[in-house]
Amino acid sequence: MTAQEIFDVLKAKFGDALPEEKLSAAGGSAAAGFSLQVWITIAPGRTKEICSFLRDDSEMQFDTLSCLSGVDYNNGTFGVVYHLSSMVQKHKIVLKAFCTKEHPHIQSVSSVWGTANWHEREVFDLFGVIIDEHPDLRRILLPDDWEGNPLRKDYKVQEFYHGMKVPY
């Protein structure tokens, strides 16, 4: 399926869970068919039901979560980006869910793809985005008592950690 077809199916089924009226693209024009260049924006509180549908539907069969990343857009917005691919249908799609810095909450998809578990912990660790309904939301790379989220654009490194000076 092309990205446009996937978008149309999702829009018809989920409607208001897709905030944008059409397929989003980095260049502005959504050229259907280039499924890696375009993305579908989804509501941060409804990622699980959309992803469950994308995994289970016989037309979609997105059995693989290739990557799950976090982004700080430096304008008060955080994003989580999902790269999905289907081994069976041989198509790919990108989903993005956005949240604000004041209310950084995005629903977990680790019950849909087990891969998401550690990736979502990494997003939580480095961006401070709280992944709702995650089974085990702890830091994954940094120590548990680390202060701050290093990949945030406004991150300031702490002066000392357990008596060790951190900055140069």
Partner 1 sequence: MGLLDQRFENGNVFITSLDGLLNWARLSSLWQMQFGLACCAIEMMAASASNFDIMRFGVIPRATPRQVDVMFVAGTVTIKMASRIKRLYDQMSEPRYVISMGSCANCGGPYWEHGYHVLKGVDRVIPVDVYIPGCPPRPEALLEGIMKLQEKVRKESMIRKRA
> What is the contact surface with partner 1 in residues (CB under 8 A)?
141-143, 150, 155, 157, 161-162, 164-168
- Rounded to a whole number of angstroms, the CA Rg of the chain reads 17
Least separation in angstroms between residue 165's CB and partner 1 is 6
Between 87 and 164, CB nearer to partner 1: 164
Quick check: 70 and 129 in contact, CB under 8 A? yes
Least separation in angstroms between residue 139's CB and partner 1 is 11
Between 105 and 156, CB nearer to partner 1: 156
Least separation in angstroms between residue 14's CB and partner 1 is 39
Q: What type of residue is 75?
A: N
Quick check: 141 and 150 in contact, CB under 8 A? no
Tell whether the torsion through CA atoms of 122, 127, 130 and 131 is positive or negative: negative
Rounded Cα–Cα distance for residues 74 and 70 (Å): 12
Least separation in angstroms between residue 88's CB and partner 1 is 40
Least separation in angstroms between residue 159's CB and partner 1 is 12
Between 36 and 157, CB nearer to partner 1: 157
Quick check: 104 and 128 in contact, CB under 8 A? yes
Three-class DSSP category at 112: coil
- Which pair of tokens denotes residue 74? 């430096």
**Residues in contact with 147: Cβ distance below 8 Å, sequence separation at least 6, in sequence order:** 158
